[in-house]
Amino acid sequence: MMLKKIVLLSIFAFLIFNLNAQEAIIDVSKVKQVIDGFGASTAWHGQLTTPEADAAFKNDKSNQMGLSILRVRIDPSSSWWNDEKQNAIRAKNRGAMILASPWSPPASMKTNNNTTGGELKPSSYADYAIHLKNFCSHLGNVDVVSLQNEPNIEVGYESCNWTPAQLLTFCKNNASAIGKPVMAPEAFNFDKNYSDPILNDSTANAHVQYIGGHLYGASAYNYTNAISKGKKVWMTEKYFNPDDIETCITMAKEITDCMYNNMNAYVWWYLRQPGCNLIEAGGKLKKKGFTMGQYSKFVRPGFNRVDATYQPKTKVYLVAFKGKDQNVVVVINQNKNTVSQIFSFKNDTVFSVKKYVTSGSKNLNDEGTLKCTSNSFTDNLDAQSITTYVTSKIPTGNHTLKEPEIRIFPNPASDIIQLSSIENVTGWQVYDVLGKKFFTQKHPTSSVVGISSLNSGIYIIRIQQKEKEYSFKFVKN
């Protein structure tokens, strides 16, 4: 009789455990890493057109990705292309950060006098730092500069080979002379053998702010050595060629895994070039572009990842984020059938969620609003789909919706400031402290305010939102 009771209790405990395991719990009180954003590269692209830049970096329409990082190429010839400068300006004016990566130092600085292969001569280390600094000055809006693209593989195109010891020496003695936040090592397979020596040396560690790497032949992992030393960890290059839904599911799983493993950014390879691109010439989003948009449109710079059930059911994966006024949950269903899923939010009040879906037949489709009961809801996940839920903390039904509170960022700023929302914004004006008006905009369609033409100093922006007006001081660097 006792044995029978033990067996029954064990079965009951097993059923309760599995019932709980099937529920996706999002605990917004357990805050993880800050998110810098999602991006792509325009290396060897030529100039983006205005529609292409809008499709990539704006975030006002459903056919725009809202990317927040652009990776540009540093030409080794030093006759720097106007193309990448214009691409950087267009991305920056739409709110993106700029990451600059070199594939090779100038040939004259290398052991083989060639931009393919070879090594950077030790006698040229100081000159190479100046080369990188000059590029940043030429572009004018670089946020992060990398030291070398994929230093750990030999290839037949523009490249340069470094050993971990050589990279460590450069970081110790020369990286600080570049004058911008530095990224290293951008290894082909996110090889820690190239970054751990830098992190473990106090001088080199102080000169590097970002650890970057690529996921070719590797999987996302939690880089505790970098994180414990206060570094941002970015995945800065990966691609998959096909544009079918199975490839997009693989892509989404990798993005989710990068975020789940405490990375701060995910940067795709080609933005527009054929083969592995996110957009077509002219700006039309490919399905991979819509897949990226399931993250980049809603998980904005400054959001934090929060604790959430990683795999509530077989082949169902999710990652969750917290912003100032909303939470975002991105869910992947790898199954070839619809799956019912329960979602519950802890330590927050959530009244409803907006739903967006990319699947074999859908491209960032707006699926409407789902009501939450006691901070929970149940929904059917489409077969082979990526679904994004954006929460609302405002009750639905017969309630008056409040206007979103307006904020500006960054502050201080160099090229642009951005409004946190343009919902019901009727206009804005920029003045100096003496009251001279410099800019005015009625019924803006973009949240970005370009200030690159202003002199350094203190200014005031006045923003009208229906009957309200907000005034902010900001500093132009």
Please report, in tens digits, the pLDDT of each residue of the chain (477 residues total): 555 555 455 554 444 444 445 999 999 999 999 999 999 999 999 999 999 999 999 999 999 999 999 999 999 997 766 899 999 999 999 999 999 999 999 999 999 999 999 999 999 999 999 999 999 999 999 999 999 999 999 999 999 999 999 999 999 999 999 999 999 999 999 999 999 999 999 999 999 999 999 999 999 999 999 999 999 999 999 999 999 999 999 999 999 999 999 999 999 999 999 889 999 999 999 999 999 999 999 999 999 999 999 999 999 999 999 998 899 999 999 999 999 999 999 999 999 999 999 999 999 999 999 999 999 999 999 999 999 999 986 665 444 444 556 888 888 888 888 887 777 888 989 988 777 889 899 888 788 898 988 998 888 898 988 767 888 888 888
pLDDT for 20 equals 43
pLDDT for 396 equals 52
**Amino acid (1-letter code) at residue 137:** S
Q: Where do the DSSP E strands lie in 35-108?
A: 37-41, 69-74, 97-102
Q: Is 119 a catalytic residue?
A: no
Whole-Å CA distances, 27 to 128, 227, 307, 350: 47, 22, 5, 12
Tokens representing 231? 């570094």
CATH H-level superfamily of 33-299: Glycosidases (3.20.20.80)
pLDDT for 335 equals 98
Pick the CATH number of 25-30+305-392 from 2.60.40.1180, 3.20.20.80, 3.40.50.920, 1.20.200.10: 2.60.40.1180
pTM for the model stands at 0.81
User: Are the beta carbons of 47 and 72 closer than 8 angstroms?
Assistant: no
CATH 2.60.40 fits 408-476, yes or no: yes
For the chain, the domains span 25-30+305-392, 33-299, 408-476
> Which residue is catalytic, options 237, 246, 405, 423?
237
> Which residue is catalytic, options 52, 84, 150, 186?
150
Q: 269-284 b/e with 16+ CB inside 10 Å = b?
A: bbbbbeebbbbeeebe
Q: Which residues contact 55 (CB under 8 A, 6 or more apart)?
A: 63, 64, 65, 279, 283, 284, 285, 289
Tokens representing 8? 């029954």
Q: Is 52 a catalytic residue?
A: no
- List helix spans (H) across 191-281: 192-199, 202-206, 224-228, 245-260
CA-closest candidate to residue 326, choices 38, 28, 106: 28
